[in-house]
Amino acid sequence: MTDSYLISGGHPLKGEVVLSGAKNVALKTIIGALMFKGEVTLKNIPRINDVLDLIELIRSLGATAEFIQKNTLIINGDSLKSNRVDLVNGSKIRVSFMLFAPLLHRFGECFVPNPGGCRIGARPIDRIIKGLITLGIKVAYNSETGYYHAKIINKPKGNYKFEKPSHTGTELLMMIGLMTGDKVVIENIANEPEIDDLILYLNSSGARIVEEENKIIIGQTSELKQKEAFTIMSDRNELVTYATLAVASKGEVIISPINENLIGSFLEIMKKTGAGVEVISNFKYRFFNKGEIKPVDIETSPHPGFMTDWQPSWAILMIKANGQSVIHERVFENRFSYVDELKKLGSNIKFIESKVENPSDFYHFNYDKNNAYQQTIKIIGPSQLHNAILNIADLRAGAALACGALLAEGESVVNGASILERGYEDFVEKVKKLGGEIRKI
Ligand code: EPU
């Protein structure tokens, strides 16, 4: 099986990138489609491994899903026949737990496996299960089988306030709210723009979801039926990956289409490095190297802050910055799997102590004082990188490793291409278009 990249790095990358659709909207709109009556057409759906795995999973439950063009997907959930998510198919993709919503909607009860551990931290769904129960769903967990059994006794209603916001949690409870006979209010929500896109999609098909400051109110919906095809937003994570890569390689890239409000915090921080950031038109940006890259510290946080998904790409840029910079990860634990790998390329990165007064409030994961977390790194730049053999452990780290190899002189092998391709469409083709030497082996 070809699951590695052979990369010959060290050249400036220059050219244009057209962004694919956002993974973290595609997955939810596909799951949401199973709550609709009849066919749903989704456009701009990236053909990435996570989407392909999800399509397999929903087909195994009886739904139909076919690409009719490269990025246009037609889904029909009317033929769903099973309310039990298969353990093997379900375990391939973490968002499988979001199937609680369509399966409860169709069958009134369902069996969904615990998504379990994940490469970027424990990633429990405790807050989400608590939300389901608070809204009136009966949920029992069988620790022997690893399955949740959820059942609707009465239609969901009432208020749920997240102790700490959760992105997919907000989305799942919102979809559960669509089944209310009255009203559901979700408070202390996540504010990611991907959630806004999901709301737009559901509301354009008959849902009554209103977003107010830090809460979402869901009114009774008689039926979800699509009036016209829905086009999902662009992937802002992809933009950050290519923009940092181009500037770090002393090159330049024009990226479109993207709306400024999706990447505001990134643009602000990018400008502080001294890199060129030019708005070509409303949806088109040019990022270019202007000589010295200044080191800039970042701390990740939910929207509108600097996103956790962007920090591995930021490390790539900071390796080429002139001085020391710090990355402090607040959203997930274990999001530094790339550190030891990037060191193999000759970068100078160290874990340092995180100085935080009240860690249980500061971090977005469930903080346990007995754990030895490593949440902060210091990068001492600039480093001349050399070739190495690297191993990808998680999606965003994967993009950082491939980009690191593109900056390094000589031939590198990056193993685990399929992990990177869970979230990046046409990675090889897009890098080649920028002049990068990369091929699958
Ligand atoms: N958390 C809990 N309990 C819960 C829910 C969340 O402890 O019940 C913790 C998580 O473990 C994490 C923090 O709370 O430490 C925030 O998690 P959140 O639920 O907001 O993240 P998520 O919904 O699991 C989504 C994206 C991530 C993205 C984050 C932040 C999808 C499929 N995933 O994850 O995307 O980093 O929101 O915006 O939408 C990626 O694309 O590579 C990726 C990881």
What pLDDT digit, counting tens, does each position of 370-387 carry? Answer: 999 999 999 999 999 999
Cα of 307 vs centre of ligand 1, distance in Å, is 11
Q: Which of 29, 94, 167 to mutate to test the pocket of ligand 1 (most atoms within 8 A of CB)?
A: 167
Query: With 80 as the cut, is the pLDDT of residue 336 above it?
Result: yes
Model confidence pLDDT, tens digit, residues 282-293: 899 999 999 999
Chain-centroid distance, C-alpha 146: 25
Query: From the candidates 18, 88, 118, 441, which is the catalytic residue?
Result: 118
Amino acid identity, residue 361?
A: D
Nearest atom within ligand 1 for CA of residue 190: 20
Q: 344: how many CB neighbours lie within 10 A of its CB?
A: 19
Q: pTM for the whole thing?
A: 0.97
Query: Ligand 1 atom 44: the closest Cα is on which residue?
Result: 309
Best CA proximity match to 13, nearest among 243, 320, 235, 234:
243
Cα of 435 vs centre of ligand 1, distance in Å, is 34
Query: Ligand 1 atom 39: the closest Cα is on which residue?
Result: 24
Rounded to 5 degrees, φ, ψ at 233 are -70, 165
CATH code of the region 23-231: 3.65.10.10
- In this prediction, residue 92 carries a pLDDT of 85
What residue ranges line ligand 1, CB within 6 angstroms? 23-24, 27, 95, 121, 123-128, 166-169, 190, 192, 308-309, 331-332, 364-366, 395-396, 423
- Do domains 4-20+234-440 and 23-231 share one topology? The answer is yes
Catalytic annotation present for 118: yes
Q: Which of 139, 337, 364, 395 to mutate to test the pocket of ligand 1 (most atoms within 8 A of CB)?
A: 364
Q: 82: how many CB neighbours lie within 10 A of its CB?
A: 15
Burial, 34: exposed, middle or buried (Cβ in 10 Å; 0-12, 13-18, 19+)? buried
Best CA proximity match to 342, nearest among 288, 290, 377, 385:
385
40 neighbors 76 (Cβ within 8 angstroms): yes
Query: Ligand 1 atom 36: the closest Cα is on which residue?
Result: 309
Cα of 15 vs centre of ligand 1, distance in Å, is 32
- In this prediction, residue 116 carries a pLDDT of 60
Cα of 167 vs centre of ligand 1, distance in Å, is 6
Cα of 122 vs centre of ligand 1, distance in Å, is 10
Q: What angle do CA 409, 346, 267 make, to 5 degrees?
A: 80
Model confidence pLDDT, tens digit, residues 196-227: 999 999 999 999 999 998 999 999 998 999 99
Question: What is the average pLDDT score of the chain?
Answer: 96
Q: What angle do CA 296, 241, 356 make, to 5 degrees?
A: 40
User: Quick one: 4-20+234-440 is in which CATH superfamily?
Assistant: Enolpyruvate transferase domain (3.65.10.10)
Nearest atom within ligand 1 for CA of residue 23: 41
Domain boundaries along the sequence of the chain: 4-20+234-440, 23-231
Cα of 98 vs centre of ligand 1, distance in Å, is 13
Nearest atom within ligand 1 for CA of residue 192: 38
Model confidence pLDDT, tens digit, residues 375-433: 999 999 999 999 999 999 999 999 999 999 999 999 999 999 999 999 999 999 999 99
Indicate the pLDDT class of residue 264, thresholds 50, 70 and 90: very high
**Element of type H or E holding 429:** helix 427-433
Task: Verify cis geometry, omega within 30 degrees of 0, for the bond prior to 257.
Answer: yes
Residue in this structure with the two tokens 């997919």, named with its chain if needed:
168
Indicate the pLDDT class of residue 120, thresholds 50, 70 and 90: low
Model confidence pLDDT, tens digit, residues 73-105: 999 999 999 999 998 888 889 999 999 999 999
